[in-house]
Copies of this chain bind each other. A is one copy, B any other.
């Protein structure tokens, strides 16, 4: 139940964080390796669990054990708890396995009573020090144990300061401090309806109980819910002998990182204050000094600290975040823990530690949180500048990065001003494929509705373009070209900044930094590549994206969407003519006009990815997405196409669907209009032949979307093969033209009958976006009306569009893999949904044995790293 640590005995070690909490376990560990740690003991989390179980009651034996442990501290320190001559004071701290805001933090100086205060005065030789310690205890104890508002103590302190004309706390002398102690006691008595306890053990017991109670305080419970922290027993309580950094000019306190946590540079990094306690270093009232100045102040201590730093790093084999105190020239270590670091530092440190031989390369790979790589790849706001900017509202962080620009309220405006060289942020209620061109020309995208997988979010992530969605507080008047957020109205020439990593919408311009990739990044990626089993491809629709993804290490394109290609320039008019055609010849004529565009697109992409596979998905979205919906655009189309406005409207109306996601799209389009497939396959085949004749190793794969029936794929595969053969003959091409033909598994039925679909497929690519939509019956465009409630009520722990739902959607994936491979052991299996770049999901895809994942270009490094981590498993 209780684990002691000290010079004479140390029980427990760093691995026992579940039982001792992070603080307690690391103090025991430091103590056990001989570092100077003030002695202490930790009451384990089991006691907390029993306290809860007993309805908030500390079991009888515990306080006896505590007393025995205090006796241990007395032996170790030679001091005595509550003593009038040489009193032992202790700190009481909570500590769970995971650090958690909202729980009671710390009570210092516990054990001070009127009696022992006199002892402290005597031992320290300073009345002011003793009273200062005392008032701090009453304040902290009153606050966290008795629930007395901190402000009440604050007010009392202010009166004293006024009375003694003291500007700062430190200006209050011994007399003032004494008076303050009395005043605090009076405040305590009035608020708590009882005197401040004069029995040190009563103080201790009540402090321990307060820590345990704080485990179930609303803030702590909410924090655990939000962060999905489950399975913990409770919090531990660490009671440790106090040491004081504020006992004069030969005392001090400091905090340090064993390496630079921002850059990862291997240089000791920290700050210290003379004659101060640890809390003063972080409180920011006095300005601490850089650590290397410590050498001049106390070289012995500094050298000892350097040695300890090395010991700790070698021991923990990781960046440590440490706290220390020097009491009258003696160094004490008060804390060590794994240090938080930026993405760049994480990479640098992991690679350095491996090169230094402290960890092996596998461990280095495990050490870097994959998601943190985003920070290395995308621009971000300078934190200092951002702090001073006004946050107007916070939306959903749909696509990371940082963008600053003027405002465009329509796609057309974004294109126009973008081409003029103006950086604009496109602001829309939501986006649709009609807005693609405008989104492309904007530096960032902000929408007031939609979720993490809305159109804007998906497209932006694909491009690595900064995007914030679902910012409900943004009221947009697109007609009037202005927006209002909580009373602030902005017009086209106002500047807005959006942070795609946090969802923040900020007023004005904020400085941005675009990171340079350190060489450690390439080293780590190379290590990852040598270890991972999963292939990593990218989702890319343009040669530029393809090129970028290739630079990030993509081994092919797993999803090349063809629909975006039809929105550029004049093509959209031909596309619309094709859609509005009423007869097959009309449609074929329009398709013929589209063919050269498509061929050119494919030549570009196949060339950019030469030597690597390029999976091209045939037209997928409902045709309705391509036709103009506003009257003005309809009139323009009427003029351009020679069709009557009435007919255009009729056709647009006829194409509208109740549930377009479940409507006439995907391979269903090719079943009803085979000529669309024929045009696309012709373009792919002609592009391939054209590349091959230029000795470019083009390797297209044709992917037929939304198949749910074996017959669909069988029929369309035949049509595809026939078309390829026709083109080959027409082009008199005699070389090899092995174009694999496969399908997406994105309709639940496809997974269920995957065995028979596999008979006519060369590969499966899981379209987990649609598969998630249909398996849950959740429209990703409409999910925002209930998803927040689901997360809040813990009916879902994560958004299933971000992290794959293993038990439902995952079950379909497992089934499809099993059935597909039963039919054809050589069947290639990949995934090209949004989940392809999500770390937790990639672990799942490794587990089910997919051949590759495909994700947005910017997530390729993340996927490469996670794929390696998934192969390595836990150490």
**Residues A773 and B662 in contact, CB atoms below 8 Å apart:** yes
A754-812, CB < 8 A from B: 756, 770, 773-779, 781-782, 785-786, 789-790, 793-796, 805, 807-809, 811-812
A-B contact pairs, 7 of them (CB 8 A): A658-B661, A659-B782, A663-B779, A671-B793, A711-B795, A747-B776, A748-B748
**Residues A777 and B658 in contact, CB atoms below 8 Å apart:** no
State which of B662, B753, B782, B786 has its C-beta within 8 Å of the C-beta of A672.
B786
Confirm or deny: A131 has a beta carbon within 8 angstroms of a beta carbon on chain B: no
A630-684, CB < 8 A from B: 657-664, 668, 671-672
Task: Please give the distance in Å from A618's CB to the nearest CB on chain B.
Answer: 15
State which of B663, B781, B793, B808 has its C-beta within 8 Å of the C-beta of A785.
B663
Chain B residues with Cβ below 8 Å from A807 are 752-753, 756
Supposing A663-B785, A671-B795, A812-B752 touch, asked if A708 and B776 sit within 8 A by C-beta, the answer is yes
**Residues B781 and A659 in contact, CB atoms below 8 Å apart:** yes
**CA A543 to CA B848, docked complex, whole Å:** 52
A578-609, CB < 8 A from B: none
Confirm or deny: A382 has a beta carbon within 8 angstroms of a beta carbon on chain B: no
A523-540, CB < 8 A from B: none
Chain B residues with Cβ below 8 Å from A781 are 657-659
**Residues A660 and B658 in contact, CB atoms below 8 Å apart:** yes
**CA A668 to CA B805, docked complex, whole Å:** 18
Confirm or deny: A25 has a beta carbon within 8 angstroms of a beta carbon on chain B: no
Chain B residues with Cβ below 8 Å from A811 are 752-753
State which of B660, B668, B775, B790 has its C-beta within 8 Å of the C-beta of A748.
B775
Chain B residues with Cβ below 8 Å from A782 are 657-660, 662-664
Confirm or deny: A709 has a beta carbon within 8 angstroms of a beta carbon on chain B: yes
Q: How many residues of A contact B (CB 8 A)?
A: 48
**CA A781 to CA B657, docked complex, whole Å:** 8
**Residues B660 and A785 in contact, CB atoms below 8 Å apart:** no
**CA A774 to CA B774, docked complex, whole Å:** 5
Q: Which 7 A-B pairs have the closest CB atoms?
A: A662-B779, A659-B779, A749-B808, A663-B782, A658-B781, A711-B795, A747-B777
**Residues A662 and B663 in contact, CB atoms below 8 Å apart:** no
* Chain B residue nearest in CB terms to A807: B753
* Chain B residue nearest in CB terms to A673: B789
**Residues A747 and B775 in contact, CB atoms below 8 Å apart:** yes
Confirm or deny: A92 has a beta carbon within 8 angstroms of a beta carbon on chain B: no
**CA A748 to CA B746, docked complex, whole Å:** 13
Chain B residues with Cβ below 8 Å from A773 are 662
**CA A706 to CA B776, docked complex, whole Å:** 9
State which of B749, B777, B779, B786 has its C-beta within 8 Å of the C-beta of A805.
B749
One complex includes copies of this chain to the number of: 2
**Residues B777 and A770 in contact, CB atoms below 8 Å apart:** yes
**Residues B664 and A709 in contact, CB atoms below 8 Å apart:** no
**CA A518 to CA B336, docked complex, whole Å:** 91
Confirm or deny: A712 has a beta carbon within 8 angstroms of a beta carbon on chain B: yes
Interface centre among A753, A776, A811 (most CB of B within 10 A): A776
**Residues A779 and B671 in contact, CB atoms below 8 Å apart:** no
Chain B residues with Cβ below 8 Å from A805 are 749
**Residues A795 and B712 in contact, CB atoms below 8 Å apart:** yes
Confirm or deny: A164 has a beta carbon within 8 angstroms of a beta carbon on chain B: no
* Chain B residue nearest in CB terms to A708: B776
* Chain B residue nearest in CB terms to A658: B781
Confirm or deny: A715 has a beta carbon within 8 angstroms of a beta carbon on chain B: yes
**Residues A709 and B796 in contact, CB atoms below 8 Å apart:** yes
**Residues B777 and A752 in contact, CB atoms below 8 Å apart:** no
**Residues B709 and A672 in contact, CB atoms below 8 Å apart:** no
Interface centre among A668, A747, A756, A811 (most CB of B within 10 A): A668
Task: Please give the distance in Å from A543's CB to the nearest CB on chain B.
Answer: 31
Chain B residues with Cβ below 8 Å from A753 are 807-808, 811
A803-833, CB < 8 A from B: 805, 807-809, 811-812
**Residues B749 and A775 in contact, CB atoms below 8 Å apart:** yes
Task: Please give the distance in Å from A431's CB to the nearest CB on chain B.
Answer: 12
Chain B residues with Cβ below 8 Å from A708 are 775-777, 808
Supposing A748-B812, A777-B708 touch, asked if A786 and B671 sit within 8 A by C-beta, the answer is yes
Chain B residues with Cβ below 8 Å from A777 are 661-662, 706, 708, 746-749, 770, 774
Chain B residues with Cβ below 8 Å from A659 are 659-662, 779, 781-782
**Residues B770 and A749 in contact, CB atoms below 8 Å apart:** no
Task: Please give the distance in Å from A495's CB to the nearest CB on chain B.
Answer: 29
**CA A771 to CA B290, docked complex, whole Å:** 65
State which of B664, B668, B776, B790 has its C-beta within 8 Å of the C-beta of A671.
B790
**CA A775 to CA B775, docked complex, whole Å:** 7
Task: Please give the distance in Å from A774's CB to the nearest CB on chain B.
Answer: 5
**Residues B658 and A715 in contact, CB atoms below 8 Å apart:** no
Task: Please give the distance in Å from A324's CB to the nearest CB on chain B.
Answer: 47
Interface centre among A662, A709, A779, A781 (most CB of B within 10 A): A662
**CA A774 to CA B777, docked complex, whole Å:** 7
**CA A746 to CA B776, docked complex, whole Å:** 10
**Residues B793 and A664 in contact, CB atoms below 8 Å apart:** no
Chain B residues with Cβ below 8 Å from A658 are 660-661, 779, 781-782
Chain B residues with Cβ below 8 Å from A809 are 749
**CA A657 to CA B706, docked complex, whole Å:** 22
A190-245, CB < 8 A from B: none
Chain B residues with Cβ below 8 Å from A795 are 671, 709, 711-712, 715
Chain B residues with Cβ below 8 Å from A779 are 657-663
Task: Please give the distance in Å from A202's CB to the nearest CB on chain B.
Answer: 41
**CA A775 to CA B756, docked complex, whole Å:** 16
Task: Please give the distance in Å from A809's CB to the nearest CB on chain B.
Answer: 7
Task: Please give the distance in Å from A583's CB to the nearest CB on chain B.
Answer: 16
* Chain B residue nearest in CB terms to A709: B795
Please name 5 further chain A to chain B contacts, defined as beta carbons within 8 Å, in addition to the given A661-B662, A671-B789, sorted by A numbering. A657-B781, A662-B782, A663-B779, A715-B795, A749-B808
**Residues B793 and A715 in contact, CB atoms below 8 Å apart:** yes
Task: Please give the distance in Å from A626's CB to the nearest CB on chain B.
Answer: 15
A238-291, CB < 8 A from B: none
**Residues A711 and B661 in contact, CB atoms below 8 Å apart:** no
Contact with B along A725-754 (1 / 0, CB 8 A): 000000000000000000000111100110
A692-713, CB < 8 A from B: 706, 708-709, 711-712
Task: Please give the distance in Å from A427's CB to the nearest CB on chain B.
Answer: 18
Task: Please give the distance in Å from A647's CB to the nearest CB on chain B.
Answer: 14
Chain B residues with Cβ below 8 Å from A709 are 795-796
Chain B residues with Cβ below 8 Å from A794 are 711
A53-71, CB < 8 A from B: none
Supposing A708-B808, A808-B708 touch, asked if A778 and B672 sit within 8 A by C-beta, the answer is no
**CA A672 to CA B662, docked complex, whole Å:** 25
Contact with B along A397-439 (1 / 0, CB 8 A): 0000000000000000000000000000000000000000000
**CA A662 to CA B778, docked complex, whole Å:** 5
Task: Please give the distance in Å from A471's CB to the nearest CB on chain B.
Answer: 15
Chain B residues with Cβ below 8 Å from A711 are 793-796
Task: Please give the distance in Å from A653's CB to the nearest CB on chain B.
Answer: 10
**CA A658 to CA B774, docked complex, whole Å:** 14
**Residues A785 and B706 in contact, CB atoms below 8 Å apart:** no
State which of B672, B775, B790, B793 has its C-beta within 8 Å of the C-beta of A774.
B775
Chain B residues with Cβ below 8 Å from A790 are 671
**Residues B662 and A808 in contact, CB atoms below 8 Å apart:** no
* Chain B residue nearest in CB terms to A781: B658
Chain B residues with Cβ below 8 Å from A712 are 795
Chain B residues with Cβ below 8 Å from A671 are 786, 789-790, 793, 795
Chain B residues with Cβ below 8 Å from A774 are 662, 748, 774-775, 777
Contact with B along A292-316 (1 / 0, CB 8 A): 0000000000000000000000000
